[in-house]
Chain A
Amino acid sequence: MTKNFLEINNVTFAASAKSKVNNVSLTIENEGDIICLLGPSGIGKTTILRTIAGLEKIQSGKILLKDKIISSKDIHVEPENRNISLAFQDNSLFPHYNVIQNIEFGAERNTKKKKNLTIDEVIKFLHLDHVKDKFPHQISSGEAQRVSLARALLSKPDLLLLDEPLSNVDQSFKEEIQVKLKEILTDLKITTIIVTHDSYEAFYLGSKCGIILDSQLKQYDDPYNVYHFPNSIEVVNFLNRGILVPAKVTGENSLENDDLGTITGNFIKHYPKGSEVQLLLQPEDLEHDDKSNLKFEVVDRRFRGTNFIYTLKTGSNKLIPIFVHSHHIHQHEVDEKFGIKRPINIDHIVCF
């Protein structure tokens, strides 16, 4: 029984000076776990995957897979000997073989593994039936991405690395593929690291999410905590899920904001009374109330299907987002006044 399935200990990932992530430490505890790495473009997420796959070397720290060092300053197991699969973001299909032949390359590997996944099953769930006899140049980038995913999946590696696996896939069956992908990965117990810029995809697929910002792994936690309890202003800004407003701590469970007045709730971190803090306001923290006398001007309204996101301008010129269910009885136009329910109570108060 191994301690951790994958361990990355204090590794600096660097393909170039620009794409560098320093001193990363993270673990995947169990075989079959799925983790996601989120971060802006060009930050070095792909470099992390390439290094784990053995396509880049490391100068410090070490990477262990099933308790065996695969990368360190002195040890470098060649990629072909790691049993790690990487589905690249761009087209990495063999151009002179058709789709089915490309997929078969994956199936040739690890044929002895117990649980079997057939080529037909994969082709069906990835909607590749209609292109299986075509060559890579004859299919769309979304289809190529799915073929690459199919090939990687069928190789049934110890560790599967997916680089933006569904970024070019049509929205119409993206969710369906996400569901099926998660099911297959869990069923076959394929440990997976997924790099994505889509936070919803990461929150759905990953049992843990890593946020990479400013050349660092800023937060590595389960998706709920990453979303609700971001550990830094940078993570808040990256997830773009709220704004920070100035507030003053007035008690064990309350604080005061110039525009919103008293806000109550549970602090996730203790601040002494009288502290000046930055309060994270997420769109779902406030509620709409037409009868409220706390009103702000609507400066923008975005329709998001299930809800509207209104952006309100406060007296001190702060812009606050607020969700309203799209079945709400009426809509508010820009420049109209918009009421906010009082008293304001936020379940968990995040401050910096």
Chain B
Amino acid sequence: MGKKINIWYISSFLISIAVAIPIVTVFSSFFETTGNYSSIIKDTFLYDYIFNSLTLLIGVLILTFIIGVGCSYLVSFYSFPGANFFKWALILSFAVPAYIYAYSLTAFFENYGTAFSILKNLFGEGNYNAHIPKFDGKMGAIISISFSLFGYVYVLTRASFHYQSQNLIELGKNLGFSKKKSFFKIILPSARPAIVAGLSLVAMETLSDFGSVSFFGISTLTTGIYNAWISFDDLALANRLSFYLLIFILGLFILENLSRKKAQYHTPSKGGFKSKSLTVLKGYKATLALTFCATVFFISFLFPVLQMLYWTIIFPKHLADLKLMELFLNTILLVFLSSIILITLAFISNYGNRVSKSKFLEILTTFSISGYAIPGIILAVAFITFVSWFDNNVVNFFGFNTIKSIFIGSVFGLVIVYFVRFYSLASNGIKSGYLKINYSIDESAYLLGYSKFRTFKEIHIPYLKNSMLLIGILISIEIIKELPITLIMRPFNFETLATTAYIFASQDLLEAAAAPSLFLILIASFFIIITSRYILKD
């Protein structure tokens, strides 16, 4: 049917416009005048911001590539003790946000930290501090971010390896390739789009990281934005810096999209696919593979959990002082509200696009979902900028009372910014579900006398309910860990597990940050475990 402006079209249009507003605000800020701080920044810190952001990016990309590709290669092509366990256990690293990893790293290696205590208990008093390596500054941030994000590379590469046909491996053998040559000539190149896609996600997250870089006191573009706004009250400059960062991130976003399109070429056809037979490793090779995966699992997940658990136990007072139930309920409230709104609106928008078949809507949606590529801190600032502009220019003009308090420092405003930030996650999830529904199925329903609404309600919703649940959980994991948006947008005296951990850590009270961090990891782990099967499959 030809495109037609109906209720579905209008709904989809409005949703996309709402999501796009903060993005447009950031772009429009480029033309605004900035304060004096702008020239100071240009002369002093700007170079540092860019240099630090780039060093961080390169370090994280190298480390996540080695860990992510290494682990996925081992569990995809070899059979060794624990391989099946590591297949899913390695994705638990998603439960540990980089900033909590940073707290653990510091807590363990700092002077008189956990490492010191262990050595003292084992060997008695000694000058251990001089010999314990210190992972702070850029090195600390690279390690924290890498072990927290390598999961992206791991999951995507593993999916690509998983679907690599045995035919491809046999082809290598047939051509007389050694195992090493097969890996570099066949396996790795054919997984390249997936690896690039994984690394692009890592790059975007690294550039938008706020928690760990601010904890380690590294000046990056993200902390620059925060400082421009919080310390110097220069919203225009914050937006200007955001714009620079956004251009860089959009480049990565396009790269990721291009590589994902290519990835489709590597999806096996139904007929020709032959599943792989795994090579069984024995002896020292099995031990090496097991050691590699176990080390990654330990460092990425067990280490921060144990460190936080240890401090929670030895400092019970902090746990007792913590309003755990309140923090938990606040976190769950945000998760629940955001998931419901995101899924409902993403579903309506996707169905609107499907029914109206409008190219314009498609382009608008693609633009609006780029919100995921924008660091949370930028979105929050952009949202506040927009609300202030709207309040000053539109609301005041009509003589109404200020609306700032409705949107700024309120749960409502917070959920709106979450909505913009995670809309692409929900929308892409629903869209990939929809891609599995042939359009002739909708047409069959219409021809059986079903209206568009009834088709949506009785055919699509029941079919996509599992996808919706999965998306809901993925959104939940992201929101539980989310820090900068929550920090900026939350109402006064409204804390979540993430913000409480951050506030304690920023006051150098790492031991007090342990309990909320631990509970945050446990809740996120719970969600990851129940969805691991889907995450690994898709």
Q: Are A105 and B1 CB-contacts (below 8 A) given A94-B459, A94-B463?
A: no
Contact size class for B? 10 to 19
Instruction: List, in ascending order, chain B residues with CB within 8 A of A151's CB.
Output: 444, 448
Cβ of B396 < 8 Å from any Cβ of A?
no
Instruction: Flag if A96 contacts B438 (CB, 8 Å).
Output: no
Most central of B436, B444, B459 by chain A CB within 10 Å: B444
Chain B: which residue is nearest A83 at the CB level?
B449
CA distance A83 to B447 in the complex (A): 7
Which of B1, B437, B446, B451 is close to A95, meaning CB atoms less than 8 Å apart? B437
Jot down 11 A-B pairs with beta carbons below 8 A, ordered by A: A53-B447, A55-B1, A78-B446, A79-B446, A80-B448, A85-B448, A88-B440, A93-B441, A94-B463, A106-B448, A151-B444
Residues of B within 8 A of A57 (CB): 1-2
| Binary interface encoding of chain A residues 112-155 relative to chain B, with 1 for a CB under 8 A from any of its CBs, else 0 | 00000000000000000000000000000000000010010001
Contact A86 B449 (CB under 8 A): no
Given A53-B447, A55-B447, 9 additional A-B pairs, CB 8 A = A50-B443, A57-B1, A79-B446, A91-B438, A92-B441, A96-B462, A106-B448, A108-B448, A151-B448
Contact, CB under 8 Å: A109 / B443: no
- Whole-angstrom distance between the Cβ of B461 and the nearest chain A Cβ: 10
Query: B2 → chain A, closest Cβ, in Å?
Result: 5
Report if A90 contacts B (CB, 8 A): yes
Contact B444 A88 (CB under 8 A): yes
Task: Give me the 3 closest cross-chain CB pairs, A-B, nearest first.
Answer: A92-B440, A79-B446, A96-B463
- A55 contacts B443, C-beta separation under 8 Å: yes
- Do A90 and B438 have beta carbons less than 8 Å apart? yes
- Residues of the B chain whose Cβ atoms lie less than 8 Å from the Cβ of A148: 444
Q: How far is the CA of A96 from the CA of B467 in the complex (A)?
A: 13
Q: Mark B437-473, 1 if CB is under 8 A from A, else 0.
A: 1101101111111110000000100110000000000
B1-31 interface mask toward A, CB cutoff 8 Å, 1 = contact, 0 = none?
1100000000000000000000000000000
Chain A residues numbered 56-92 whose CB sits less than 8 Å from any CB in chain B: 56-57, 78-86, 88, 90-92
Contacting residues of chain B (292-322) with chain A, CB-CB under 8 angstroms: none
* A92: B residues at CB distance < 8 A: 438, 440-441, 443-444
Nearest neighbor of B440 in chain A, beta-carbon distance: A92
Whether B443 contacts A88 by the Cβ 8 Å rule is yes
Closest to B437 in A: A95
Give the shortest distance, in Å, between B428 (CB) and chain A (any CB). 20
CB distance B459 to A86 under 8 Å?
Answer: no
Nearest-Cβ distance from residue A138 to partner chain B, whole angstroms: 14
B409-451 contact mask (Cβ, 8 Å, vs A): 1 or 0: 0000000000000000000000000001110110111111111
A106 CA to B1 CA in the complex, in Å?
22
Main secondary structure of the interface of A (DSSP, over half): loop
Residues from chain B with Cβ under 8 Å of A94 in the complex: 441, 444-445, 459, 463
Residues of B within 8 A of A81 (CB): 449
The answer to whether A86 and B447 have CB atoms under 8 Å apart is yes
Q: A296 CA to B204 CA in the complex, in Å?
A: 78
Q: Contact check, B438 vs A79: say whether CB atoms are below 8 A apart.
A: no
| Interchain CA distance A91-B438 in the complex, whole Å | 8
Structural contact, B463 and A85, CB atoms closer than 8 A: no
The CA-CA distance from A95 to B466 in the complex, in Å, is 13
Taken residue by residue from 147 to 172, chain A's Cβ proximity to chain B (1 for < 8 Å, 0 otherwise) reads as: 01001000100000000000000000
Residue of chain B at shortest CB distance from A88? B440
Chain A residues, Cβ within 8 Å of B450: 80
List A contacts of B448 (CB < 8 A): 80, 85, 105-106, 108-109, 151, 155
B375 CB, min distance to chain A CBs, angstroms: 38
User: Are A109 and B449 in contact (CB-based, < 8 A)?
Assistant: yes
Q: Which residues of B contact A55 (CB under 8 A)?
A: 1, 443, 446-447
Q: Contact between A90 and B449 (Cβ–Cβ < 8 Å)?
A: no
Which residues of chain B are within 8 angstroms of A84 by Cβ–Cβ distance?
A: 447
Q: Separation in Å of the B329 CB from the closest CB of chain A?
A: 35
Distance in Å from the Cβ of B359 to the closest Cβ of chain A? 15
Residues of chain B contacted by A82 (CB below 8 angstroms): 447
B449 contacts A80, CB within 8 Å?
yes
Counting chain A CB atoms within 10 Å of each CB, which of B440, B443, B448, B463 scores highest? B448
Partner of A86 from B441, B443, B451 at Cβ < 8 Å: B443
A93 to chain B: which residues have CB within 8 Å? 441, 444
Binary A-proximity of B163-188 (CB < 8 A = 1, otherwise 0): 00000000000000000000000000
A80 to nearest B CB, angstroms? 5
B42 to chain A, nearest CB (A): 54
Which residue of chain B is the closest to A155 with respect to CB atoms?
A: B448
B443 proximity list for chain A (CB < 8 A): 50, 53, 55, 79, 86, 88, 92
Q: Which residues of A contact B449 (CB under 8 A)?
A: 80-81, 83, 109, 155
Contact of B447 among A80, A91, A95, A108 (CB under 8 A): A80
- The answer for the CA separation of A50 and B2 in the assembled complex, in Å, is 12
Smallest CB gap from A108: residue in B: B448
> For the complex, what is the distance from the CA of A155 to the CA of B2, rounded to whole Å?
26
B454 nearest CB neighbor, chain A only: A80
* Residues on the A chain within 8 Å of B446, using CB: 54-55, 78-80
Q: How far is the CA of A25 from the CA of B344 in the complex (A)?
A: 46
**A148 CA to B448 CA in the complex, in Å?**
12
Q: Give the CA-CA distance A54 to B1 in the complex, in Å.
A: 7
**A148 to B, closest residue via Cβ:** B444
For window 35-50 of A, CB contacts with B under 8 Å fall at 50
Chain A residue at minimum C-beta to C-beta distance from B450: A80
CB distance from B438 to the nearest CB of A (A): 6
Cross-chain contact B447 with A79 (CB below 8 angstroms): yes
Q: Give bound CA distance, A148 to B440, whole Å.
A: 11
> Across the two chains, which residue of chain A brings its CB closest to B466?
A96
Contacts of A86 in B (CB 8 A): 443-444, 447
Q: Which residues of A contact B444 (CB under 8 A)?
A: 86, 88, 92-94, 148, 151
CB distance from A97 to the nearest CB of B (A): 8
Specify which of A53, A78, A80, A148 lies most central, judged by the most chain B CB atoms within 10 Å of its CB.
Answer: A80
Residue of B nearest to A56 (CB): B1
Bound: A78/B4 CA distance, A? 12
Closest CB in chain B relative to A101 CB, distance in Å: 11
Minimum distance in angstroms from A6 CB to a CB of chain B: 16
What is the CB-to-nearest-CB distance from B458 to chain A, in angstroms, rounded to a whole number? Answer: 9
Interface centre among A50, A54, A55 (most CB of B within 10 A): A55
Query: How close is B358's CB to chain A, nearest CB, in angstroms?
Result: 15
User: Which B residue's beta carbon lies closest to that of A81?
Assistant: B449
Least distance between A46 CB and chain B CB atoms (Å) = 10
In the assembled complex, which residues on chain B have CB atoms less than 8 Å from the CB atom of A78? 446
For window 142-200 of B, CB contacts with A under 8 Å fall at none
Q: Report chain B residues within 8 Å CB of A56.
A: 1-2
Q: Which of A85, A92, A109, A155 has the most chain B CB within a 10 Å cutoff?
A: A92
Most buried by B among A86, A91, A108: A86
Q: Which B residues are in CB contact (< 8 Å) with A106?
A: 448
* Cα distance A78–B462 in the bound complex, in angstroms: 24
Q: Shortest distance in angstroms between A344's beta carbon and chain B's nearest beta carbon? A: 50
- A20 to B: closest C-beta gap in Å: 15
A14 to chain B, nearest CB (A): 11
In the complex, how many angstroms separate the beta carbon of A300 from the nearest chain B beta carbon? Answer: 33
Residues of B within 8 A of A91 (CB): 438, 440
Interface centre among B441, B443, B447, B451, by most A CB within 10 Å?
Answer: B447
Known A-B contacts A57-B2, A96-B462; A85 and B447 likewise in contact (beta carbons under 8 Å): yes
Chain B min CB distance to A113 (Å):
13
